[in-house]
Amino acid sequence: MTVKLKQKIDTIFTDIHNTFYDDIQSLNALIIDRLESPVPLIQQVACHLIQAGGKRIRPLLTFISAKMHGYRGDRPVHMGACIEFIHTATLLHDDVIDDSVKRRGLRSANDLWGNKTSILVGDFLFSKAFEFMVADKNPEIMKVLSKAASVIASGEVLQLSKEKDLSLTEKEYFSIIESKTSALFSAASEVGTLIADASEKDRKIMADYGHKIGTLFQITDDILDFGLPKSTPGKNVGDDIKGGRITLPIIYLLKKKPAYKTLIEDCYNDCKDFELSFKKLQDALVEHSIFKEIETVIESIYNSCCSLLTAMPDTQEKKFLQELLSFTIHRIK
């Protein structure tokens, strides 16, 4: 990632965080407060991940959506915490499934405290998320968020069932990422409109926007895993391969050049020299312009998302949604 681009991204989030400064501070305080437990290990494990970083994109979508549609109050803070708890719970479970040793540049919770602890603390966070839903007393919000939690779990199971399966299709890939990632982005955006009692039309627009930006976020994240030049991924390069996950670059390369199947199998099957095989795979992806082909897919989703934004009034919140969209795709530039 170039210095200029990093500065631009930092500026985007500085502007958004400054606008929602009070909400973000309240969100962070609420999260810490709700992590109180007679079992100290619960707070220790959860805080390790929650306070390790992250831009709070999902809660920000709720803040922006609610304010854009005229709401002024503290309900977005509570629902933002709910969404952050769901997200953090899925990360704890993901790291166990993937046997990850790092998360956001730090040792993962499962590496520090073990798989059993991580799974149970993840379950604790899910239960806390549902407490928020019940307390809000809005059945539509509960319906949206509980469905998102269910869809995320289904996506994780589907991904696990397709581990190292090189016959995975592009359609199946999108089914996985739209479940495990896009669903919560969509829910976070839609919840803001529900808090604001927005129209059905506005609700659908924001749900679609969240779904598309979530899809873009996951595709770019999958590309970053291959260590693009000038990129700074938030995880170790090659984690998807080591975790057995089949992503779009692999699907496209196999479709275009089936002869690379043996090399790809070597990478996925813990060959003795993973680094060498992975480097050959990186070179093949670049040589055959696989990333450029994926950029065409990204551009199509991006343009579709921009079309959704044209239906929104010209407000500061709309500008923020446009900037978040730009941030998402520029992570790979």
pLDDT tens digits for the chain (333 residues)? 555 555 566 677 788 989 999 999 999 999 999 998 899 899 898 888 877 767 899 999 999 999 999 999 999 999 999 999 999 999 999 888 888 888 777 888 899 999 999 999 999 999 999 999 999 999 999 999 999 999 999 999 999 999 999 999 999 999 999 999 999 999 999 999 999 999 999 999 999 999 999 999 999 999 999 986 555 545 578 889 988 999 999 999 999 999 999 999 999 987 778 889 999 999 999 999 999 999 999 999 999 999 999 988 899 999 999 999 988 988 876
pTM over 0.85: yes
Q: For 3-330, which CATH superfamily applies?
A: Farnesyl Diphosphate Synthase (1.10.600.10)
Question: What distance lies between CA 126 and its chain's CA centroid?
Answer: 17
Closest C-alpha to 247, from 166, 325, 328: 166
Note the pLDDT of residue 207: 98
Backbone angles phi, psi at 292, to 5 degrees: -65, -35
Domain definitions of the chain by residue range = 3-330
- Token pair belonging to 46: 């959860």
> At 27, which helix (H) or strand (E)?
helix 21-34
Contact between 186 and 217 (Cβ < 8 Å) = no
Longest dimension (CA), the chain: 58
The residues with which 102 forms a beta bridge, in sequence order, are: 107
Scored b (16 or more CB within 10 A) or e, 280-306 reads bbbebbeeeebbebbbebbeebbeebe
Helices (DSSP H) in 197-313: which residue ranges?
A: 200-224, 239-242, 248-256, 261-268, 274-287, 290-310
The residues with which 107 forms a beta bridge, in sequence order, are: 102
> At 291, which helix (H) or strand (E)?
helix 290-310
Contact between 144 and 191 (Cβ < 8 Å) = yes
